[in-house]
Structure formats: structure tokens, C-alpha cells
Amino acid sequence: MKALVLRNYDRQPDSILLTEKPIPPLKHGEVLVHIAAASINPSDLIFLRGQYGIVKPLPVVPGFEGSGRVVAAGGGVFAKMLLGKRVACHSPEDGDGTWAEYMVCQADGCIPLFKQTTDEQGAALIVNPMTAWALVDLAQKGGHQSYLQTAAAGALGFMIARLGWRRGMMGLHIVRRPEQVGMMKTQGLEHVLDSSEPQFEQRLKEACQKFHITIAFDAVGGALTAQLAAAMPRGSHIVVYGALSGENCQVSPGDLLFRDQKLEGFWLTEWIKKKTFIQKLIFAFQVQRRLSDDLQTHVQSRFPLEQFREAIELYKKKRSDGKVLLIP
């Protein structure tokens, strides 16, 4: 099979190569998925640098999520049930990923796709939609009536905004460029702040107090985390689920000690591990039903494996313009 193979975590251009490799044999409970489409996500870019929560032995095929058809099963009831079915899938923690023509994974790591769900929607079913659903669910179950989010102009940010609106929650959306403010407002999002503005911190504090925002979803980290903590009311909760700034989260000990604020991380991989098999399936089907509206993914471009460098560069430069897919 054709596959993209990561050889080093050194960020050099020749660290990833398109090559041919044998399709590995299947073990009990595993399936072979013929990949139809594979997503490029921020988590993939972090993984390529060796900075993700999972650092796999090299060489390895990158790619955390994709979609395709199960063409072989290694045994087990669920694996055999999936044979011939279209699925969304994620890579195993210790094996090759989706940036290839085929991927071997555990059957319980696959989500059967509805007939109306396209391969492209399926390829982006797991990372963004499930994270958005889990975060909004966390806020709602915590009794929060409003929330704020950073990196709001990205695909995941729009998903959080749409889900929050549907559940009756008020959202404050933080972006980093003036043109993103206009883009957000054309989509009906009223409360948008630009973190590059000179008066950002003051406006952020006023908005947090006015709307009593007690939970924040932070995908950026760095100094922005400290700005959130300083602006939010006493007893607020900051959930860090990304590291787009590439910098450590900064927060004043005084905010944590004397203002009873909480700072915690959220990683979808660990969150899902705590679910039973049945809970995972129910959750996956709930999310899949919303792929055409609240959790819709816009695809800006598609590339064959041979053009992976162009695909990665485009996504780095224009993340807010939509998903970039690899089509084996």
C-alpha cells in the first residue's frame, strides 16, 4: 500500500516520505479499513513535532482520523459485523494512522456511518465534533449559563458556538484578527472579541462580568490563559484543550489561590476511554446526527497522498478556511 511515513520528529521537510509498505496481518478484534479520506488536524501537526500526548515509535504512519470501508476482519463479533461497512476510524495509540491507503485498527475504534453520511463528513467525525459536544456537555452539566472560547474562528469554534446556541447558552468568542470578527458576526455570533486589539483585556473583563461567564474553553494557551483568568469572575473554570500558541499556559497563582479559580486540561482520547462500549456507540450516533447542521465540517481542499506537503502547508496557513483532506 501507499503510505506517508514519519521517520523523525525533527520538523525537517524530509522527515515524512511517501513510500510503499506491506499491509500488516490482522489480529483478533482488528479490522482493515480501506481509507477513503483522512483529515489533517492541529493535533496531527503537533504529533509530527513529537509534542503530542502520544509519541509513537518510529517509523510510523501519521493521521489520527479518517473514514473508509472495512475490507477484512481478524475475528471477533463486532469486527465481523463491520465487514463491508463504511466507518469513521481513528488510529491505534501504538500503530500506524490514516495517512495511507489502508489502516489496521481495533474494531471498537470504528464508528459505522449512516447511509447519508459522506466519506468526507466521516473523515472529520471524531476529533472536532466529539470534542465540541463533550465540552458543551461539560459546561451544561456544570450548570454554566454562558461560556467563552478562544480560537473561535476555527471549525471547532463554530461547532461549539452552534451547539451552545442550540442548548440556550450565551457564548463569548475570542479571535485573533479583525477580519475574523466580521466573519463571525456574519454567521450570527454577536459577542466577538479580537485579542489583537489594544483594549482587549479591558473589553474581555467587562464582557465576562456583564454576562457572568464562569467557564472558558481555551485552545491557545500561553499568555492568553492568564488574561482569561484575570478577566473571569471568582470561582471560574478554565478548560485547556489545545496549545495553538505553542507556549506554556500562564496563570497567576493568586487567581487560583485567592479567587478560587480552576485550571484543567481536556483530552478527548482520555475522556472517551472512560466510556463503556455502548456509551461510545450512543455518543457517536448522537454526534453523527448533527453532522449536517451544528457539527458540519466545511472542506476547503482535497489532496492525493502525493501532494501531502502542499496539503499540510495549506492547512497551516488557512486553518480557519476549513478542513484539508488527504484522499488516498
pLDDT in tens, 22-36: 999 999 999 999 999
Task: Give the cell for residue 8.
Answer: 523523525
The 8-class DSSP code of residue 227 comes to H
Does the domain at 2-124+297-326 match CATH 3.90.180.10? Answer given as: yes
The pLDDT score that the predictor gives to residue 20 is 97
The pLDDT score that the predictor gives to residue 232 is 96
Cα distance between residue 261 and residue 253, in whole Å? 10
Q: How far is CA 194 from CA 163, 180, 197, 262, in A?
A: 22, 8, 6, 24
The neighbouring-strand residues paired with 290 are: none
Report cis status (omega within 30 of 0) of the bond before 59: yes
Cα distance between residue 286 and residue 174, in whole Å? 27
Helix (H, G, I), strand (E, B) or coil at 186: helix
Record the pTM.
0.91
Instruction: Give every residue of the chain whose pLDDT is below 70, as ranges.
Output: none
Residue 102: left (phi > 0), alpha (psi -120 to 50), or beta? beta
Inter-residue long-range contacts of 111-114, CB under 8 Å, 24+ positions, other chains counted: 111/87, 111/281, 111/284, 111/288, 112/82, 112/85, 112/86, 112/87, 113/67, 113/85, 113/86, 113/87, 113/88, 113/288, 114/288, 114/289
The pLDDT score that the predictor gives to residue 312 is 96
The neighbouring-strand residues paired with 263 are: 238
Listed by start position, the domains of the chain span 2-124+297-326, 128-269
The pLDDT score that the predictor gives to residue 53 is 87
3.40.50.1000, 3.40.50.720, 3.20.20.70, 3.40.50.10860: which CATH number matches 128-269?
3.40.50.720
The pLDDT score that the predictor gives to residue 321 is 86
